[in-house]
Structure 1
Amino acid sequence: MINYGIIGAGMMGQEHIRNIRLLGDARVAAIYEPDPVMAEAARALAPEAIFVDSVEAVLDQSALDCLLIASPNHVHVDQMEAIAARRPLPMMVEKPLFTTSEQAERVARLARNYPAPVWVAMEYRYMPPIAMMVDRADAATGGIRMLSLREHRFPFLDKVGAWNRFNATSGGTLVEKCCHFFDLMRLILRAEPVRVSASGGADVNHRAEEYDGRQPDIWDNAFVIVDFDGGQRAMLELCMFAEGARYQEHLSAMGPAGKIEALVPGPTRFWPEALGPAPVPQVILSPRNPKGEQALDVPVDPDLLEAGDHNGSTFYQHQRFLRVLQGAGDVEVTLADGAKAVAMGLAAQRAAETGQVVTL
């Protein structure tokens, strides 16, 4: 039995707790969540856990085998360094790893010196239709030359202290929300970015909100174009006021032999019952010769859909992390992977703010 210590049990932390409980070989042993409302919700999900009042108190629990960090973005690095100094257990850290370029070297130092496995929680890799697309992409395209990632979704949800409404605590939309997609670009293309151009802004959401006299500065839409060292091009299209779409994510990869797409619905809990059953994820193959589109349904276990908002991926991610803890697998999303995704997001933010191409 693997015992988890949870640092941060807000909305995403609670999704992790629900999925850890589905693993069978793991349990939540200790939780640190300073917000009383979120702590009470987490207590209902993990009544067996001990609730403590600090990161240090989590580390004092002798039975722990690993840690999960799902706290607000801007405190990740401080918490990782505190863990490294006191009790460097294996850990999974929610994205983004950090929020400012000044924190990059601190994360690089952790990557060089941390003595235990660290897995960065990039859930989108493990959404079943995206995972299938990644597996089949080279064969379907004959070698990807163009990659398009589109997310048309709902606005940012309410988080404790409205930390996700401000660039200073979230890192900005292209870091907080979109590091998933920059990670996918590198994963799918197996190449590194060299140039980033972007345009983005805050046009619809959160315009009338105010928190302690401050108005949100988070963006709600953007286009980003990334050139890679293998000559491939990738584009991200984000719109956070398009939750009426049937599919939330639409990925397309194109090459000389054809095209492959992945279609991913949004969270099941947001799908209106009046519209009937929620959409089923799909992978679509479109060869150039012979022509003829093939659509493959990629259904997800309803229990996994009920456990979170990420199409079952949080469970599949924890399954692989559990194998690492049991000595039967390797870390698939490293600190270096997480850092590169943030660097791309920060470059995109800067490109959009300045109107200039940013070289990496």
Structure 2
Amino acid sequence: MTQQFNYGVIGCGMMGQEHLRNINLIDGARVHAIFEPDAEMARKSQEFAPDAVMCGSVAELLALEELDCLLVVSPNYLHVEQLEEIAATRPLPLLMEKPLYTDPEHAARIAEIQASYPAPIWVAMEYRYMPPVAKFLDALEKTTGGVKMLTIREHRFPFLPKVGDWNRFNEKTGGTLVEKCCHFFDLMRLALKSDPVRVMASAGQVVNHLDEVYNGERPDIWDSGYVIVDFANGARAMLELCMFAEGSRYQEELSAVGPDGKIEALVPGPGRFWPDELGDAPTSQVIVSPRYPKGPKVLDIPVDDSLLAAGDHNGSTYYQHVNFLAALRGEGEIEVSLQDGAWAVRMGHAAQQSAATGEAVAL
């Protein structure tokens, strides 16, 4: 019989509800309790977890004896405070949404938790688990003979509305190169098997949210940029972000090149945004291009329809939870550590600093 895990979920906005839908697909997992302070989001979350206990605070949720693990999907600026409350009150196994923190000064607080937290913490870097990206990562070394150049492009839609419009302001998100791009910096470290030593960036707000005003304040969140990262092992990586390019066929395009060849991954955006008049939404692909003999091979990487229906991340949320629970059962390892999550944020902050100052930032 599969071991049952009862989740306590903190935060059930748009991404939190995606987590709920995916937990529902997993044998041996259920949402036992939810804390969501926004009444409308709480109501919507009950559609996906009708039997969950609705709690009025983090403390009330943590007091429930039935909980086996926690999932934090609250707004970015609450992450550190809530992580500290959990660590001090009831440090259960935890899946923590990205970004791990938003302010560079929070890094020391995260390091303190890392040194003392007695249970597993997994940082939610979903992009690792998109099937085309997972295939790309698995075939990377064999195809390239050791990656020397890695490029990640995301051409996508603007930031969606969130409760209280918190994602329109750098103070609450950590900045676009933290909030949105920590996924990509995590992929860089994972793919290159090395840590960054220098970051250079050019980025800013050029199209989106320029005419919006919230409580008398104009959004300052960036919508585009380039980031170049040098790594300790001599490899280089580049990120290209554009958040006013939702007309693209593919949302993410990854390319890695080494002495033996090149491999690419092409990942479509959420199917719900694909126009019906254009027919079926694109299928994910991986393209393997050896140098000798030449002959690119295109591999379609279909994603199960039920997983596509459960969220906007090509099934990755589901696979992430499956692996997280396997680790809790002793059948796998924690694959995305607090250190991984902290590095991704640190790289994002360095990129923000570089773009703001026009200078390279050493790490």
Question: Do both proteins adopt the same fold according to a TM-score greater than 0.5, normalized to the shorter chain?
Answer: yes
CA distance in 1, matches of 2:149, 2:170: 30
Residue aligning to 1:219 = 222
CA distance in 2, matches of 1:51, 1:58: 8
Match of 2:276 among 269, 273, 276: 273
1:207 aligns with 2:194: no
1:160 aligns with 2:184: no
Count, aligned residues: 360
User: Identical aligned pairs, as a percentage?
Assistant: 64
Q: Deviations over 1:85-111 (max 9, x none)?
A: 111100000000000110001001111
RMSD over aligned CA atoms reads 0.5
Residue aligning to 1:252 = 255
Q: Deviations over 1:29-73 (max 9, x none)?
A: 000000011000001110010101100011011100000000000
Residue aligning to 1:90 = 93
The structural deviation recorded for 1:324 is: 1.5
Amino acid of the structure 2 residue aligned with 1:290? P
1:51 aligns with 2:54: yes
Residue aligning to 1:192 = 195
1:339 aligns with 2:347: no
**Structure 2 unpaired stretches of 5+:** none
1:356 aligns with 2:356: no
Residue aligning to 1:22 = 25
The structural deviation recorded for 1:137 is: 0.7
Q: Deviations over 1:260-296 (max 9, x none)?
A: 0000000011111110001000000111111111000
The structural deviation recorded for 1:80 is: 0.6
SS in structure 2 at match of 1:263: strand
Q: Which runs of 4+ in 1 moved over 6 A?
A: none
1:5 aligns with 2:8: yes
SS in structure 1 at match of 2:262: strand
CA distance in 1, matches of 2:27, 2:60: 26
SS in structure 1 at match of 2:227: strand
The structural deviation recorded for 1:24 is: 1.4
Query: What is the TM-score with the length of structure 1 in the denominator?
Result: 1.00
Amino acid of the structure 1 residue aligned with 2:312? D
Amino acid of the structure 1 residue aligned with 2:319? Y
The structural deviation recorded for 1:142 is: 1.2
Q: Deviations over 1:221-266 (max 9, x none)?
A: 0100000000000000000000000000000000111100000000
1:135 aligns with 2:138: yes
Amino acid of the structure 2 residue aligned with 1:98? Y
CA distance in 2, matches of 1:83, 1:117: 13
The structural deviation recorded for 1:327 is: 1.9
Amino acid of the structure 2 residue aligned with 1:257? D
Residue aligning to 2:177 = 174
The structural deviation recorded for 1:328 is: 1.5
Amino acid of the structure 1 residue aligned with 2:100? L
CA distance in 2, matches of 1:188, 1:56: 39
Residue aligning to 2:287 = 284
CA distance in 1, matches of 2:333, 2:294: 40
CA distance in 1, matches of 2:250, 2:199: 27
CA distance in 2, matches of 1:45, 1:317: 19
1:114 aligns with 2:117: yes
**Structure 1 unpaired stretches of 5+:** none
Amino acid of the structure 1 residue aligned with 2:169? F
Residue aligning to 1:262 = 265
Residue aligning to 1:229 = 232
The structural deviation recorded for 1:16 is: 0.3
The structural deviation recorded for 1:325 is: 1.7
Amino acid of the structure 1 residue aligned with 2:43? E
Match of 2:102 among 73, 92, 99: 99
